[in-house]
Structure 1
Amino acid sequence: MYEEFRLKLNIILLDDFQKELLESSILNLQTDSKLRFNNFAYSLRELSRHFLKSLAPDELINNSVWFKNETKIKNKYSRGERIKYAIQGGLEDRFLEREIMTIQELSSIKKKITDSIEILNKYTHINNNTFNISEQLVKELSNLIMNSFIEFTETITNTRKIIIKSIEDNLSAQIFEKAMCDISEDVDILATHHWMEEVHIDRFHITELNSRVIKIKAEGITEFLLQWGSDGDNRRGDGHQSNIFFPFTAYFTLQLCKNLNNSKPEILDYNIDTSSLYE
Protein backbone atom coordinates (compact mmCIF):
# COMPACT_ATOMS: atom_id res chain seq x y z
CA MET A 1 0.00 0.00 0.00
CA TYR A 2 2.71 2.48 1.01
CA GLU A 3 4.97 1.61 -1.91
CA GLU A 4 2.27 2.35 -4.49
CA PHE A 5 1.53 5.65 -2.75
CA ARG A 6 5.24 6.54 -2.73
CA LEU A 7 5.72 5.68 -6.42
CA LYS A 8 2.73 7.72 -7.57
CA LEU A 9 3.74 10.80 -5.62
CA ASN A 10 7.42 10.70 -6.49
CA ILE A 11 6.37 11.30 -10.11
CA ILE A 12 4.28 14.33 -9.13
CA LEU A 13 6.22 16.00 -6.31
CA LEU A 14 8.37 18.91 -7.44
CA ASP A 15 11.60 18.87 -5.44
CA ASP A 16 13.81 16.84 -3.10
CA PHE A 17 12.40 18.49 0.02
CA GLN A 18 8.87 17.38 -0.84
CA LYS A 19 10.05 13.84 -1.58
CA GLU A 20 11.98 13.67 1.69
CA LEU A 21 8.94 14.94 3.57
CA LEU A 22 6.88 12.21 1.92
CA GLU A 23 9.36 9.55 3.07
CA SER A 24 9.36 10.90 6.62
CA SER A 25 5.55 10.97 6.63
CA ILE A 26 5.36 7.30 5.70
CA LEU A 27 7.98 6.39 8.32
CA ASN A 28 5.62 7.70 11.00
CA LEU A 29 3.30 4.79 10.27
CA GLN A 30 6.07 2.27 10.80
CA THR A 31 6.75 3.24 14.43
CA ASP A 32 5.11 2.10 17.67
CA SER A 33 4.22 5.61 18.71
CA LYS A 34 0.67 6.21 19.89
CA LEU A 35 0.79 9.33 17.73
CA ARG A 36 1.92 7.55 14.57
CA PHE A 37 -1.32 8.16 12.71
CA ASN A 38 -1.64 11.79 13.89
CA ASN A 39 1.95 12.52 12.85
CA PHE A 40 1.34 10.90 9.47
CA ALA A 41 -1.81 12.93 8.85
CA TYR A 42 -0.18 16.18 9.98
CA SER A 43 2.94 15.59 7.83
CA LEU A 44 0.87 14.93 4.72
CA ARG A 45 -1.21 18.03 5.37
CA GLU A 46 2.00 20.04 5.51
CA LEU A 47 3.23 18.35 2.33
CA SER A 48 0.02 19.40 0.57
CA ARG A 49 0.68 22.99 1.68
CA HIS A 50 4.24 22.99 0.33
CA PHE A 51 3.15 21.32 -2.91
CA LEU A 52 0.41 23.87 -3.48
CA LYS A 53 2.64 26.83 -2.68
CA SER A 54 5.35 25.62 -5.09
CA LEU A 55 2.75 25.59 -7.87
CA ALA A 56 1.33 28.95 -6.83
CA PRO A 57 4.07 31.30 -5.52
CA ASP A 58 2.95 34.49 -3.75
CA GLU A 59 4.37 36.88 -6.34
CA LEU A 60 2.68 35.15 -9.29
CA ILE A 61 -0.69 35.07 -7.53
CA ASN A 62 -0.33 38.73 -6.62
CA ASN A 63 0.41 39.66 -10.26
CA SER A 64 -2.64 37.85 -11.64
CA VAL A 65 -5.43 40.10 -12.87
CA TRP A 66 -8.04 37.93 -11.14
CA PHE A 67 -6.41 38.30 -7.70
CA LYS A 68 -8.76 39.95 -5.17
CA ASN A 69 -6.97 39.24 -1.86
CA GLU A 70 -9.70 37.13 -0.30
CA THR A 71 -7.94 37.15 3.09
CA LYS A 72 -7.92 40.97 3.22
CA ILE A 73 -4.45 40.63 4.78
CA LYS A 74 -1.37 41.92 2.96
CA ASN A 75 0.96 39.18 1.69
CA LYS A 76 -1.42 36.44 2.80
CA TYR A 77 -3.17 34.30 0.19
CA SER A 78 -6.18 32.08 0.55
CA ARG A 79 -6.14 28.38 -0.23
CA GLY A 80 -8.71 28.99 -2.96
CA GLU A 81 -6.41 31.54 -4.64
CA ARG A 82 -3.50 29.09 -4.53
CA ILE A 83 -5.67 26.34 -6.02
CA LYS A 84 -6.85 28.72 -8.74
CA TYR A 85 -3.31 29.69 -9.75
CA ALA A 86 -2.04 26.08 -9.54
CA ILE A 87 -4.71 25.08 -12.05
CA GLN A 88 -4.92 27.99 -14.46
CA GLY A 89 -1.99 30.28 -13.77
CA GLY A 90 -2.84 33.90 -14.37
CA LEU A 91 -5.49 33.12 -16.99
CA GLU A 92 -8.88 34.68 -16.36
CA ASP A 93 -12.00 32.54 -15.95
CA ARG A 94 -13.65 34.17 -18.96
CA PHE A 95 -10.67 33.27 -21.16
CA LEU A 96 -10.87 29.64 -20.03
CA GLU A 97 -14.61 29.55 -20.59
CA ARG A 98 -14.19 30.98 -24.08
CA GLU A 99 -11.38 28.62 -25.08
CA ILE A 100 -11.38 25.50 -22.89
CA MET A 101 -13.99 24.75 -20.20
CA THR A 102 -17.07 26.24 -18.57
CA ILE A 103 -17.01 28.08 -15.26
CA GLN A 104 -19.18 25.29 -13.83
CA GLU A 105 -16.59 22.66 -14.78
CA LEU A 106 -13.82 24.77 -13.31
CA SER A 107 -15.74 25.28 -10.05
CA SER A 108 -16.42 21.55 -9.79
CA ILE A 109 -12.71 20.76 -10.15
CA LYS A 110 -11.78 23.33 -7.50
CA LYS A 111 -14.36 21.88 -5.10
CA LYS A 112 -12.94 18.39 -5.63
CA ILE A 113 -9.47 19.65 -4.71
CA THR A 114 -10.79 21.54 -1.66
CA ASP A 115 -12.69 18.46 -0.45
CA SER A 116 -9.51 16.39 -0.67
CA ILE A 117 -7.62 18.93 1.44
CA GLU A 118 -10.45 18.95 4.01
CA ILE A 119 -9.98 15.21 4.53
CA LEU A 120 -6.28 15.82 5.17
CA ASN A 121 -7.13 18.55 7.67
CA LYS A 122 -9.73 16.45 9.45
CA TYR A 123 -7.25 14.01 10.95
CA THR A 124 -4.44 16.34 11.96
CA HIS A 125 -6.05 17.10 15.34
CA ILE A 126 -5.47 14.72 18.23
CA ASN A 127 -8.76 13.43 19.60
CA ASN A 128 -9.97 10.28 21.37
CA ASN A 129 -11.00 8.74 18.06
CA THR A 130 -7.60 9.29 16.41
CA PHE A 131 -5.16 8.84 19.31
CA ASN A 132 -3.54 5.43 19.88
CA ILE A 133 -5.95 3.77 17.49
CA SER A 134 -5.81 0.10 16.48
CA GLU A 135 -3.58 -1.16 13.71
CA GLN A 136 -6.61 -1.94 11.58
CA LEU A 137 -7.98 1.59 11.97
CA VAL A 138 -4.54 3.05 11.21
CA LYS A 139 -4.57 1.16 7.93
CA GLU A 140 -8.12 2.21 7.06
CA LEU A 141 -7.65 5.90 7.86
CA SER A 142 -4.16 6.03 6.35
CA ASN A 143 -5.53 4.59 3.14
CA LEU A 144 -8.29 7.22 3.13
CA ILE A 145 -5.75 10.02 3.60
CA MET A 146 -3.37 8.65 0.98
CA ASN A 147 -6.16 8.37 -1.59
CA SER A 148 -7.26 11.92 -0.79
CA PHE A 149 -3.71 13.21 -1.18
CA ILE A 150 -3.31 11.46 -4.53
CA GLU A 151 -6.64 12.88 -5.70
CA PHE A 152 -5.53 16.34 -4.56
CA THR A 153 -2.22 16.24 -6.47
CA GLU A 154 -3.49 14.44 -9.57
CA THR A 155 -6.55 16.66 -9.98
CA ILE A 156 -4.37 19.77 -9.95
CA THR A 157 -1.69 18.44 -12.30
CA ASN A 158 -4.13 16.74 -14.70
CA THR A 159 -6.36 19.82 -14.96
CA ARG A 160 -3.39 22.05 -15.65
CA LYS A 161 -2.21 19.61 -18.33
CA ILE A 162 -5.66 19.69 -19.94
CA ILE A 163 -5.63 23.50 -20.03
CA ILE A 164 -2.10 23.68 -21.44
CA LYS A 165 -2.69 20.97 -24.05
CA SER A 166 -5.94 22.59 -25.15
CA ILE A 167 -4.18 25.91 -25.70
CA GLU A 168 -1.30 24.23 -27.52
CA ASP A 169 -3.72 22.29 -29.74
CA ASN A 170 -5.51 25.50 -30.68
CA LEU A 171 -2.34 27.35 -31.58
CA SER A 172 -1.02 26.97 -35.09
CA ALA A 173 2.71 26.51 -35.61
CA GLN A 174 2.28 28.80 -38.62
CA ILE A 175 1.87 31.89 -36.43
CA PHE A 176 5.28 31.22 -34.87
CA GLU A 177 6.89 30.34 -38.19
CA LYS A 178 5.68 33.62 -39.65
CA ALA A 179 7.16 35.57 -36.73
CA MET A 180 10.56 34.01 -37.43
CA CYS A 181 10.77 34.53 -41.17
CA ASP A 182 12.99 37.61 -41.04
CA ILE A 183 15.31 36.44 -38.27
CA SER A 184 18.61 34.99 -39.39
CA GLU A 185 21.40 37.04 -37.82
CA ASP A 186 23.11 33.94 -36.41
CA VAL A 187 23.83 32.80 -39.96
CA ASP A 188 25.45 36.07 -41.09
CA ILE A 189 28.98 34.90 -40.40
CA LEU A 190 28.62 31.61 -42.24
CA ALA A 191 28.60 32.83 -45.83
CA THR A 192 28.77 35.91 -48.03
CA HIS A 193 24.99 35.94 -48.42
CA HIS A 194 22.15 33.89 -47.01
CA TRP A 195 18.39 33.61 -47.39
CA MET A 196 15.94 31.86 -45.09
CA GLU A 197 13.95 29.50 -47.30
CA GLU A 198 11.67 27.70 -44.82
CA VAL A 199 10.90 27.47 -41.11
CA HIS A 200 9.44 24.26 -39.72
CA ILE A 201 8.40 24.12 -36.07
CA ASP A 202 8.39 20.49 -35.00
CA ARG A 203 7.07 21.05 -31.48
CA PHE A 204 6.25 23.81 -29.07
CA HIS A 205 5.02 23.86 -25.51
CA ILE A 206 3.82 26.38 -22.98
CA THR A 207 6.28 27.19 -20.21
CA GLU A 208 4.26 29.80 -18.31
CA LEU A 209 0.66 31.02 -18.13
CA ASN A 210 0.23 34.68 -17.24
CA SER A 211 -2.77 36.97 -17.25
CA ARG A 212 -1.95 38.75 -20.49
CA VAL A 213 0.77 36.63 -22.10
CA ILE A 214 1.66 32.98 -22.54
CA LYS A 215 5.32 32.03 -22.69
CA ILE A 216 6.21 29.35 -25.23
CA LYS A 217 9.29 27.36 -26.17
CA ALA A 218 9.50 26.17 -29.79
CA GLU A 219 11.93 23.81 -31.50
CA GLY A 220 12.32 22.94 -35.15
CA ILE A 221 14.35 23.21 -38.33
CA THR A 222 15.24 26.21 -40.50
CA GLU A 223 16.34 25.88 -44.12
CA PHE A 224 18.81 28.44 -45.47
CA LEU A 225 20.30 29.04 -48.88
CA LEU A 226 23.94 29.99 -48.26
CA GLN A 227 26.02 31.68 -50.92
CA TRP A 228 29.80 32.01 -50.85
CA GLY A 229 31.06 34.72 -53.20
CA SER A 230 29.16 37.40 -55.09
CA ASP A 231 26.44 36.81 -57.66
CA GLY A 232 29.10 37.46 -60.31
CA ASP A 233 31.41 34.87 -58.73
CA ASN A 234 28.61 32.32 -58.85
CA ARG A 235 27.85 33.07 -62.52
CA ARG A 236 31.54 32.54 -63.33
CA GLY A 237 31.68 29.32 -61.32
CA ASP A 238 33.98 30.82 -58.68
CA GLY A 239 31.32 30.90 -55.97
CA HIS A 240 29.06 28.32 -54.43
CA GLN A 241 25.49 27.96 -53.17
CA SER A 242 24.10 25.30 -50.86
CA ASN A 243 20.84 24.62 -49.03
CA ILE A 244 21.52 23.74 -45.40
CA PHE A 245 19.19 22.80 -42.54
CA PHE A 246 19.84 23.98 -38.97
CA PRO A 247 17.94 23.08 -35.79
CA PHE A 248 16.74 25.99 -33.68
CA THR A 249 15.19 26.80 -30.33
CA ALA A 250 13.01 29.87 -29.95
CA TYR A 251 11.21 31.47 -27.01
CA PHE A 252 8.04 33.52 -27.55
CA THR A 253 5.53 35.50 -25.61
CA LEU A 254 2.01 35.35 -26.97
CA GLN A 255 0.03 38.51 -26.31
CA LEU A 256 -3.46 37.24 -25.52
CA CYS A 257 -6.43 38.54 -27.50
CA LYS A 258 -10.04 37.44 -27.18
CA ASN A 259 -9.32 34.65 -29.62
CA LEU A 260 -6.16 32.56 -29.46
CA ASN A 261 -5.72 32.53 -33.21
CA ASN A 262 -5.64 36.34 -33.22
CA SER A 263 -3.00 36.51 -30.49
CA LYS A 264 0.35 37.88 -31.63
CA PRO A 265 3.66 36.15 -30.88
CA GLU A 266 6.78 38.10 -30.03
CA ILE A 267 10.23 36.49 -30.06
CA LEU A 268 12.15 36.71 -26.79
CA ASP A 269 15.14 34.62 -27.81
CA TYR A 270 16.17 32.66 -30.89
CA ASN A 271 19.13 30.29 -31.14
CA ILE A 272 20.25 28.46 -34.28
CA ASP A 273 22.59 25.50 -33.93
CA THR A 274 25.05 25.85 -36.82
CA SER A 275 27.58 23.35 -35.45
CA SER A 276 26.80 20.81 -38.18
CA LEU A 277 28.48 23.11 -40.71
CA TYR A 278 31.81 22.63 -38.95
CA GLU A 279 31.65 18.87 -38.52
Structure 2
Amino acid sequence: MESLRNEYQEKINSVLLDGFEKELLNSAFINLLTPNALRLNNFAYALRELTRHVLHRLAPDNELRKCEWFRPDGTSSNGITRKHRIKFAIQGGLSDFYVIEKLYIDEVDDVSNELKDIINDLSEFTHIEESKFNSSTEKTKKTAEQYLSVTLGFVKKIDELRKEVADKIFENIDEMLIKRINSESVVELIEISTHQYIEEITPEKIHVIKVGANSLVMSVEALIDVILLYGSESDRRKDNGAEIPISFPVYSEMEVLFKKPLGSVINLNQFSVDISSWYDG
Protein backbone atom coordinates (compact mmCIF):
# COMPACT_ATOMS: atom_id res chain seq x y z
CA MET A 1 0.00 0.00 0.00
CA GLU A 2 2.91 2.29 0.72
CA SER A 3 3.92 2.02 -2.94
CA LEU A 4 0.55 3.55 -3.93
CA ARG A 5 1.16 6.44 -1.60
CA ASN A 6 4.62 7.00 -3.04
CA GLU A 7 3.28 6.90 -6.59
CA TYR A 8 0.18 9.06 -6.26
CA GLN A 9 0.23 11.40 -3.28
CA GLU A 10 2.71 13.94 -4.62
CA LYS A 11 1.11 13.93 -8.08
CA ILE A 12 -2.37 14.64 -6.72
CA ASN A 13 -1.01 17.18 -4.23
CA SER A 14 0.41 19.19 -7.14
CA VAL A 15 -3.09 20.40 -8.05
CA LEU A 16 -4.45 20.74 -4.49
CA LEU A 17 -4.33 23.74 -2.17
CA ASP A 18 -2.19 23.70 0.96
CA GLY A 19 -4.14 23.04 4.12
CA PHE A 20 -7.40 21.10 4.20
CA GLU A 21 -7.21 19.52 0.73
CA LYS A 22 -3.71 18.09 1.21
CA GLU A 23 -4.51 17.05 4.77
CA LEU A 24 -7.63 15.21 3.57
CA LEU A 25 -5.62 13.34 0.94
CA ASN A 26 -3.02 12.44 3.57
CA SER A 27 -5.77 11.16 5.87
CA ALA A 28 -7.12 9.03 3.01
CA PHE A 29 -3.74 7.33 2.72
CA ILE A 30 -3.54 6.84 6.48
CA ASN A 31 -6.89 5.01 6.25
CA LEU A 32 -5.55 2.87 3.42
CA LEU A 33 -2.36 1.99 5.32
CA THR A 34 -4.20 1.04 8.52
CA PRO A 35 -5.44 -2.58 8.29
CA ASN A 36 -9.10 -2.86 9.25
CA ALA A 37 -12.32 -4.14 7.70
CA LEU A 38 -13.39 -0.64 6.56
CA ARG A 39 -10.13 0.73 5.24
CA LEU A 40 -11.13 0.54 1.55
CA ASN A 41 -14.55 2.04 2.29
CA ASN A 42 -13.02 4.88 4.31
CA PHE A 43 -10.39 5.46 1.64
CA ALA A 44 -12.96 5.68 -1.18
CA TYR A 45 -15.14 7.97 0.94
CA ALA A 46 -12.22 10.33 1.63
CA LEU A 47 -11.31 10.49 -2.07
CA ARG A 48 -14.92 11.19 -3.03
CA GLU A 49 -15.11 13.99 -0.46
CA LEU A 50 -11.81 15.39 -1.76
CA THR A 51 -13.19 15.63 -5.30
CA ARG A 52 -16.39 17.17 -3.92
CA HIS A 53 -14.45 19.79 -1.99
CA VAL A 54 -12.26 20.66 -4.99
CA LEU A 55 -15.35 21.11 -7.16
CA HIS A 56 -17.06 23.34 -4.58
CA ARG A 57 -13.90 25.45 -4.35
CA LEU A 58 -13.62 25.82 -8.12
CA ALA A 59 -17.36 26.32 -8.64
CA PRO A 60 -19.00 28.13 -5.68
CA ASP A 61 -22.80 28.28 -5.73
CA ASN A 62 -23.14 32.07 -5.89
CA GLU A 63 -20.78 32.36 -8.87
CA LEU A 64 -22.24 29.42 -10.74
CA ARG A 65 -25.79 30.76 -10.54
CA LYS A 66 -24.70 33.96 -12.31
CA CYS A 67 -23.76 32.12 -15.53
CA GLU A 68 -26.02 32.65 -18.53
CA TRP A 69 -25.75 28.96 -19.39
CA PHE A 70 -26.86 27.78 -15.93
CA ARG A 71 -30.24 26.07 -15.74
CA PRO A 72 -31.32 24.58 -12.39
CA ASP A 73 -31.65 20.80 -12.37
CA GLY A 74 -34.80 19.50 -10.70
CA THR A 75 -33.04 16.32 -9.54
CA SER A 76 -30.78 18.34 -7.20
CA SER A 77 -32.03 19.86 -3.94
CA ASN A 78 -30.41 23.21 -4.73
CA GLY A 79 -30.60 22.93 -8.52
CA ILE A 80 -26.82 22.51 -8.87
CA THR A 81 -25.30 19.22 -10.05
CA ARG A 82 -21.75 17.89 -10.26
CA LYS A 83 -21.95 18.35 -14.02
CA HIS A 84 -22.71 22.06 -13.49
CA ARG A 85 -19.70 22.41 -11.19
CA ILE A 86 -17.33 20.58 -13.53
CA LYS A 87 -18.44 22.75 -16.44
CA PHE A 88 -18.01 25.95 -14.42
CA ALA A 89 -14.58 24.86 -13.17
CA ILE A 90 -13.47 24.59 -16.80
CA GLN A 91 -15.14 27.54 -18.56
CA GLY A 92 -16.67 29.72 -15.86
CA GLY A 93 -19.29 32.06 -17.26
CA LEU A 94 -18.12 31.84 -20.86
CA SER A 95 -20.99 30.90 -23.16
CA ASP A 96 -21.06 27.48 -24.80
CA PHE A 97 -21.10 29.22 -28.17
CA TYR A 98 -17.90 31.11 -27.43
CA VAL A 99 -16.10 28.08 -26.01
CA ILE A 100 -17.02 25.88 -28.97
CA GLU A 101 -17.06 28.32 -31.89
CA LYS A 102 -14.33 30.78 -30.88
CA LEU A 103 -12.00 28.78 -28.64
CA TYR A 104 -12.60 25.52 -30.56
CA ILE A 105 -12.97 23.50 -27.36
CA ASP A 106 -15.83 21.06 -27.81
CA GLU A 107 -15.18 18.42 -25.15
CA VAL A 108 -16.49 20.13 -22.01
CA ASP A 109 -19.80 18.22 -21.91
CA ASP A 110 -18.13 14.88 -22.64
CA VAL A 111 -15.51 15.45 -19.97
CA SER A 112 -18.19 16.59 -17.51
CA ASN A 113 -20.08 13.32 -18.01
CA GLU A 114 -16.88 11.30 -17.73
CA LEU A 115 -15.79 12.97 -14.49
CA LYS A 116 -19.30 12.68 -13.05
CA ASP A 117 -19.14 8.92 -13.64
CA ILE A 118 -15.80 8.76 -11.83
CA ILE A 119 -17.30 10.37 -8.73
CA ASN A 120 -20.24 7.94 -8.89
CA ASP A 121 -17.77 5.03 -8.96
CA LEU A 122 -16.10 6.36 -5.81
CA SER A 123 -19.52 6.49 -4.14
CA GLU A 124 -20.05 2.73 -4.56
CA PHE A 125 -17.80 1.85 -1.64
CA THR A 126 -19.27 4.52 0.63
CA HIS A 127 -22.48 2.44 0.83
CA ILE A 128 -21.33 -0.45 2.97
CA GLU A 129 -22.73 -3.73 1.78
CA GLU A 130 -21.46 -7.21 2.66
CA SER A 131 -19.79 -7.52 -0.76
CA LYS A 132 -17.80 -4.34 -0.14
CA PHE A 133 -16.91 -5.00 3.49
CA ASN A 134 -13.61 -6.39 4.76
CA SER A 135 -12.02 -6.62 1.31
CA SER A 136 -8.92 -8.74 0.92
CA THR A 137 -5.52 -7.07 0.80
CA GLU A 138 -5.21 -7.92 -2.89
CA LYS A 139 -8.64 -6.48 -3.74
CA THR A 140 -8.01 -3.42 -1.56
CA LYS A 141 -4.76 -2.62 -3.32
CA LYS A 142 -6.19 -3.21 -6.80
CA THR A 143 -9.32 -1.14 -6.16
CA ALA A 144 -7.40 1.63 -4.37
CA GLU A 145 -5.03 1.92 -7.33
CA GLN A 146 -7.98 2.23 -9.71
CA TYR A 147 -9.52 4.98 -7.58
CA LEU A 148 -6.24 6.83 -7.23
CA SER A 149 -5.70 6.67 -10.97
CA VAL A 150 -9.14 8.08 -11.77
CA THR A 151 -8.86 10.74 -9.03
CA LEU A 152 -5.54 11.89 -10.46
CA GLY A 153 -7.09 11.86 -13.92
CA PHE A 154 -10.04 13.87 -12.59
CA VAL A 155 -8.03 16.73 -11.09
CA LYS A 156 -5.51 16.78 -13.96
CA LYS A 157 -8.21 16.86 -16.64
CA ILE A 158 -9.93 19.85 -15.08
CA ASP A 159 -6.57 21.59 -14.69
CA GLU A 160 -5.62 20.85 -18.32
CA LEU A 161 -8.90 22.13 -19.74
CA ARG A 162 -8.81 25.29 -17.59
CA LYS A 163 -5.34 25.96 -18.95
CA GLU A 164 -6.49 25.26 -22.51
CA VAL A 165 -9.29 27.81 -22.11
CA ALA A 166 -6.80 30.37 -20.77
CA ASP A 167 -4.32 29.66 -23.59
CA LYS A 168 -7.00 30.16 -26.24
CA ILE A 169 -8.29 33.32 -24.57
CA PHE A 170 -4.77 34.75 -24.54
CA GLU A 171 -4.42 33.99 -28.25
CA ASN A 172 -7.65 35.90 -28.87
CA ILE A 173 -6.71 38.96 -26.82
CA ASP A 174 -2.97 39.36 -27.40
CA GLU A 175 -3.36 42.09 -30.04
CA MET A 176 -5.66 44.11 -27.80
CA LEU A 177 -3.29 43.54 -24.89
CA ILE A 178 -0.32 44.85 -26.89
CA LYS A 179 -2.35 47.89 -27.93
CA ARG A 180 -3.28 48.48 -24.31
CA ILE A 181 0.32 48.20 -23.08
CA ASN A 182 1.69 50.44 -25.84
CA SER A 183 -0.83 53.11 -24.90
CA GLU A 184 0.56 53.18 -21.37
CA SER A 185 4.04 53.53 -19.92
CA VAL A 186 6.15 50.51 -19.07
CA VAL A 187 8.36 51.73 -16.26
CA GLU A 188 11.25 49.35 -16.90
CA LEU A 189 11.45 50.24 -20.61
CA ILE A 190 11.29 53.97 -19.96
CA GLU A 191 14.37 53.50 -17.80
CA ILE A 192 16.46 52.41 -20.78
CA SER A 193 14.96 54.23 -23.79
CA THR A 194 13.34 57.47 -24.93
CA HIS A 195 10.36 55.67 -26.44
CA GLN A 196 9.46 52.02 -26.93
CA TYR A 197 7.10 49.91 -28.96
CA ILE A 198 6.09 46.34 -28.10
CA GLU A 199 5.62 44.29 -31.27
CA GLU A 200 4.77 40.85 -29.94
CA ILE A 201 4.13 38.89 -26.74
CA THR A 202 4.97 35.19 -26.82
CA PRO A 203 3.54 33.31 -23.82
CA GLU A 204 5.74 30.62 -22.31
CA LYS A 205 3.66 29.65 -19.28
CA ILE A 206 0.05 30.51 -18.45
CA HIS A 207 -1.47 29.73 -15.07
CA VAL A 208 -5.15 30.06 -14.24
CA ILE A 209 -5.58 31.86 -10.92
CA LYS A 210 -9.36 31.99 -10.93
CA VAL A 211 -12.26 31.30 -13.27
CA GLY A 212 -15.41 33.21 -12.42
CA ALA A 213 -18.85 33.92 -13.80
CA ASN A 214 -17.75 37.25 -15.29
CA SER A 215 -14.00 36.97 -15.76
CA LEU A 216 -10.87 34.86 -15.82
CA VAL A 217 -7.74 35.77 -13.85
CA MET A 218 -4.44 34.42 -15.14
CA SER A 219 -0.74 34.87 -14.70
CA VAL A 220 1.45 34.86 -17.79
CA GLU A 221 5.18 34.34 -18.10
CA ALA A 222 6.15 35.52 -21.57
CA LEU A 223 8.77 37.01 -23.85
CA ILE A 224 8.15 40.42 -25.38
CA ASP A 225 9.69 41.63 -28.62
CA VAL A 226 10.18 45.36 -28.29
CA ILE A 227 11.81 48.17 -30.26
CA LEU A 228 13.68 50.64 -28.09
CA LEU A 229 13.69 54.11 -29.64
CA TYR A 230 16.24 56.86 -28.96
CA GLY A 231 15.73 60.46 -29.99
CA SER A 232 12.73 61.92 -31.77
CA GLU A 233 11.37 60.62 -35.06
CA SER A 234 13.10 63.54 -36.75
CA ASP A 235 16.40 62.67 -35.04
CA ARG A 236 16.14 59.07 -36.20
CA ARG A 237 15.51 60.14 -39.78
CA LYS A 238 18.72 62.19 -39.58
CA ASP A 239 20.64 59.26 -38.06
CA ASN A 240 20.94 61.16 -34.79
CA GLY A 241 18.86 58.57 -32.96
CA ALA A 242 18.59 54.82 -32.93
CA GLU A 243 16.17 51.88 -32.97
CA ILE A 244 17.16 48.69 -31.16
CA PRO A 245 15.05 45.53 -31.48
CA ILE A 246 15.36 43.36 -28.38
CA SER A 247 13.47 40.78 -26.31
CA PHE A 248 12.85 40.68 -22.58
CA PRO A 249 11.10 38.26 -20.20
CA VAL A 250 7.89 39.57 -18.68
CA TYR A 251 5.56 38.48 -15.90
CA SER A 252 1.98 39.67 -15.84
CA GLU A 253 -1.24 39.08 -13.99
CA MET A 254 -4.48 40.08 -15.64
CA GLU A 255 -8.21 39.76 -15.30
CA VAL A 256 -10.02 39.31 -18.61
CA LEU A 257 -13.66 40.30 -18.30
CA PHE A 258 -16.19 38.30 -20.30
CA LYS A 259 -17.43 41.31 -22.24
CA LYS A 260 -17.85 41.52 -26.01
CA PRO A 261 -15.53 41.63 -27.79
CA LEU A 262 -13.43 39.50 -25.47
CA GLY A 263 -10.29 41.42 -24.54
CA SER A 264 -11.94 44.84 -24.72
CA VAL A 265 -11.82 45.06 -20.91
CA ILE A 266 -8.62 43.83 -19.25
CA ASN A 267 -7.60 44.68 -15.71
CA LEU A 268 -3.81 44.54 -15.89
CA ASN A 269 -2.93 43.90 -12.26
CA GLN A 270 0.78 43.44 -12.90
CA PHE A 271 3.13 43.81 -15.86
CA SER A 272 6.81 43.52 -14.91
CA VAL A 273 9.59 43.44 -17.49
CA ASP A 274 12.91 41.87 -16.54
CA ILE A 275 15.57 44.11 -18.11
CA SER A 276 18.50 42.66 -16.15
CA SER A 277 20.03 41.31 -19.39
CA TRP A 278 20.33 44.91 -20.63
CA TYR A 279 22.75 45.70 -17.84
CA ASP A 280 24.52 42.34 -17.95
CA GLY A 281 25.74 43.27 -21.43
* Shared fold per TM-score greater than 0.5: yes
In structure 2, the partner of 1:29 is 32
Tell me the distance in 1 between the aligned counterparts of 2:16 and 2:60. 15
Structure 2 unmatched runs, 5+: 235-240
CA shift for structure 1 position 156:
1.9
The 1-side partners of 2:19 and 2:87 are apart by 24
Determine the structure 2 residue equivalent to 1:158: 160
* Other-structure match for 1:101: 105
Query: Does 245-254 or 145-154 show the bigger shift?
Result: 245-254
Aligned residues: 263
> Which residues of 2 match residues 1-279 of structure 1 at below 5 A?
1-2=3-4, 3-70=6-73, 71=76, 73=78, 77-99=80-102, 100-102=104-106, 105-168=107-170, 170-171=171-172, 173-184=174-185, 186=187, 194-198=194-198, 200-203=200-203, 205=206, 207=208, 208-211=210-213, 213-217=215-219, 220-221=223-224, 224-225=228-229, 249-254=251-256, 256=258, 263-269=263-269, 270=271
TM-score by length of 2: 0.73
Preserved contact between residue 217 and residue 254 of structure 2 (Cα < 8 Å):
yes
Q: CA RMSD in A?
A: 3.7
C-alpha deviations, 1:237-264, integer Å up to 9, x for none?
xxx999798876555444557776xx42
- How far has the Cα of 1:21 moved from its partner? 1.4
What is the rounded CA distance, in whole Å, between the counterparts of 1:82 and 1:58 in structure 2?
9
Distance in 2, Cα, partners of 1:242 & 1:158 = 41
Shift of the alpha carbon at 1:145? 2.1
Give the SS at the match of 2:196: strand
Answer yes or no: is the 8 Å Cα contact 1:95–1:258 preserved in 2. no
Do 1:113 and 1:156's aligned partners in 2 also have CA atoms closer than 8 Å? no
* Superposition deviation, residue 55 in structure 1: 2.0
Contact 1:18-1:47 within 8 A present in 2 as well: yes
1:147-196: CA deviations, max 9, x gaps?
A: 3322322322223233333333x3363332122222127479969x9433
Once residues 118 and 188 of structure 1 are traced to their aligned partners in structure 2, the CA distance between those partners, rounded to angstroms, is: 54
Q: Give the AA of the match of 2:15.
A: I
Q: Distance in 2 between matches of 1:140 and 1:274?
A: 53
Question: What SS is found at the alignment partner of 1:12?
Answer: coil
User: Do 2:214 and 2:258's aligned partners in 1 also have CA atoms closer than 8 Å?
Assistant: yes
Q: Which amino acid aligns with 1:108?
A: D
Check the 8 A contact 1:66/1:92 in 2, yes or no: yes
Question: How far is 1:42 from its partner?
Answer: 1.2
Contact 1:34 1:132 in 2 (8 A): yes
Cα deviation for residue 52 of structure 1 reads 1.6
Aligned partners of 1:140 and 1:216: how far apart in 2? 39
SS at match of 1:34: coil
CA distance in 2, matches of 1:190, 1:264: 29
Give the conservation status (yes or no) of the 8 Å contact 1:252–1:265.
no
Higher mean C-alpha deviation, range 144-153 or range 118-127: 144-153
**Contact 2:87/2:109 (8 A) holds in 1:** no
The superposition leaves residues 112-155 of structure 1 with CA deviations (integer Å, 9 ceiling, x where unpaired) of 10110011001111111122222222223222322332232232
- The verdict on how the C-alpha distance between 1:226 and 1:267 changes in structure 2, with shifts beyond 3 A counting, is farther
Q: Tell whether the 8 Å contact from 2:63 to 2:213 is kept in structure 1 after alignment.
A: no
User: Which amino acid is 2:196 matched to?
Assistant: M
**Structure 2: which amino acid aligns with 1:114?**
K
Q: Which runs of 5+ in 1 are unaligned?
A: 232-239
* Counterpart code for 2:165: I
- Equivalent-residue separation in structure 2 for 1:13 and 1:127 (angstroms): 31
Aligned-pair identity in percent equals 30
Q: Name the larger-Rg structure.
A: 1
What is the TM-score when the length of structure 1 is the normalising length? 0.74
